[in-house]
Homo-oligomer: A and B are copies of this chain.
Amino acid sequence: MAVLETIPVLLSSSSSSSFLDTSTVIALTVFFALLCACIIIGHLLEENRWANESITALLLGLCCGVVVLLITKFHSSRILVFSEDLFFLYLLPPIIFNAGFQVKKKQFFKNFTTILLFGVVGTVISFCLISLGAYLLFKRIGVTSLDIKDYLAVGAILSATDSVCTLQVLNQDETPLLYSIVFGEGVVNDATSIVLFNAVQSLDVSNIDLLTALKLLGTFLYLLFTSTALGIAAGLISAYIIKTLYFGRHSTDREVALMMLMAYLSYMLAELLNLSGILTIFFCGIVMSHYTWHNVTESSRVTTKHAFATISFIAETFIFLYVGMDALDIDKWKSSKASPGTSIAVSSTLFALVLVGRAAFVFPIANITNCIKKRPSTKIELRKQFIIWWAGLMRGAVTIALSYNEFANSNTTLTEDSALMITSTIIVVLFSTVVFGSITKPLIEAVLLRNAKPVHSDATDIPSLDDLQILFLENCDPSDQGGSNEPTRRKGSLSLLISNPTSTVHYFWRKFDDKFMRPVFGGRGFVPFVPSSPTGAADPQTS
């Protein structure tokens, strides 16, 4: 409670002294001014396909860091200290929640197997390769003081792709298949790499055997299922509360507040129970958009749709601004006494490992799923494999947060090599975000959209036979539950089951949903229209 401190002379000293800590106020003022600048500049650059808000924020943060560095005469470039609490408690949850809330559910679940394979198996492959590569190569560069745990940690840290920048680069409407795979992978990947990282930290390195590996797998599966279940439960509870208690006397402010608070509560509960909060809040978002969102008033729908997106947008911009500003942290660069040559060697080694590590799972897994899939339109052709590989190369704030956690958090002072690892991670993050963030959009245009327009390369651009069958099934199934038991229609669905297993899972889910879930938890068509508010609001997704 260090308030009413003597205010520095550089501020106008009126007789009314502030209650607030001046340095906090300065930091917040600078950050909010920069955020405003990012939004305005980002909007002006919208037409420019090389730039986006992430890169603007990153560069603006770098510039601001330089200015602060000059003002403080190279003592410090930072206005706020990078805090993992700030990142994991306040910035990441709204981004992931909004992603779940706005994701096209049908696309997501259609590609669920592929997403899981990429996100889990792929991340593990990448982790192994990067760890092994770093172990073999770093000694040649001259980095010697790292132990085996550090190398494993490096693997986990650099396996965490950045789903935030990916979201800005890929377009859900232009390339839905790619978007759902790359983004879905990003969410699962976040969870996987954090689990791997935690596992590495608690690992007894002297005793690695099959049992440890099995235990790790068990922990991972346990986390996956409990986290998902918690998220679904939180979403369903919010839907039930709003449907049951609020029925007939809706209050937009309370509905929106309850949705926000329940989502955040699910994240906190998951963290408290040592589960993966990211997975939890992601599934909470999905369930809320499927049930809760349909139970509230029209104005609540418009408000939640845009308010969640806005908060997520601000958090994303903040993160990049912050990473940019943090990159110039003079203490870290001073502690790492490595020559620029070594720094560049380590960074480029790490980046090369990231490239190889990602290539090593994207192409094999994509080809395996291609063999399994029968429909040619859902196959991932080489061109798309290349984009999936490319779009997942960006590294972001999760990487930096994990890197700080591993290398800066020890109670001892920063060793040279730890500082070197942190600065190299920052270089990799900056380089990948700026370079890949700016090239990806034009690349997608060049590789996919322009070349492939006549052949309709993206599977979901035109409704396939499957889609039409689903459409037919859905239209057969009126929104009141009664109609689904008619024998003639049932027969039609049975013949479809045999010919089309994937769509049939979706079909039976719809049946189950309409019969058991929606009557209890509400959802589209199961809650009477609430007329208190503007009409015609668009769905948050086209599921």
Which residues in B have their C-beta under 8 angstroms from that of A15? 198-199, 202, 215, 219
A310 within 8 A of B: yes
Beyond A18-B271, A19-B84, whether A261 also contacts B306 by CB under 8 A is: no
Would A253 and B310 count as touching, CB distance under 8 A?
A: yes
Q: Mark A249-274, 1 if CB is under 8 A from B, else 0.
A: 10111101110111011001101111
Assembled-state Cα–Cα distance A309/B255 (Å): 11
Given contacts A16-B219, A40-B241, A245-B40, whether A84 and B1 have CB atoms under 8 Å apart is: yes
Q: Are A271 and B4 in contact (CB under 8 A)?
A: no
Number of copies: 2
Contact across chains for A271 and B12 when beta carbons are under 8 A apart: no
Chain A interfacial residues counted at CB < 8 A = 93
Nearest CB in chain B to that of A98: its residue: B253
**Nearest Cβ in chain B — how far from A117, in angstroms?**
22
Q: Is A371 an interface residue (CB 8 A)?
A: no
Say yes or no: is A479 at the interface (Cβ < 8 Å to chain B): no
Q: Which of B14, B268, B269 contacts A274 (CB 8 A)?
A: B14
Q: Is the CB of B257 within 8 A of A4?
A: no
Interchain Cβ contacts under 8 Å between A and B, 29 examples: A1-B404, A12-B273, A12-B274, A13-B274, A14-B273, A15-B198, A15-B215, A16-B202, A17-B202, A19-B194, A25-B271, A28-B268, A29-B265, A29-B268, A29-B269, A40-B258, A43-B251, A46-B249, A252-B310, A253-B306, A253-B310, A260-B314, A261-B314, A298-B534, A299-B537, A300-B306, A533-B537, A534-B534, A534-B536
For the complex with contacts A303-B306, A534-B534, 15 further pairs of A-B residues with Cβ separation under 8 Å are A1-B83, A1-B409, A3-B405, A7-B274, A11-B274, A12-B273, A16-B275, A19-B405, A29-B272, A32-B264, A252-B306, A302-B302, A303-B305, A307-B307, A534-B535
